Amino acid sequence: MLVDLKTKYQLATIFQWSVKTVEKHLTEMSRTEYSKYILEPSRDLRRISLSGYYQFMKYKEKQNKKML
């Protein structure tokens, strides 16, 4: 699990998105059942589970397909 934890900058690099996009996703994640994948021991220190973020992306994809 510990090697699975990434910063928002690392996630942006892995998925080739802007940091702003990742921040938007993290805000959305924190308001859903996916908040359990965000580890935030202090205001300035936040780590996100890579597998949890991937599951959230799959969830968003499914939601977008429902709307079509």
Could you read off the pLDDT of 8-31 as tens digits, one per residue?
Answer: 999 999 999 999 999 999 999 999
The count of structural domains within the chain is 1
**pLDDT tens figures, 37-55:** 999 999 889 999 999 999 9
Mean pLDDT of the region 60-68: 89
pLDDT for position 52:
96
Please give the distance of CA 20 from its chain centroid, rounded to a whole number. Answer: 12
Higher-pLDDT residue of 3 and 65 is 65
- State both tokens at 38: 């965000």
Domain of residue 59 covers 2-67
* Nearest in space to 39 (alpha carbons), one of 55, 57, 26, 58: 26
- State both tokens at 37: 């994948």
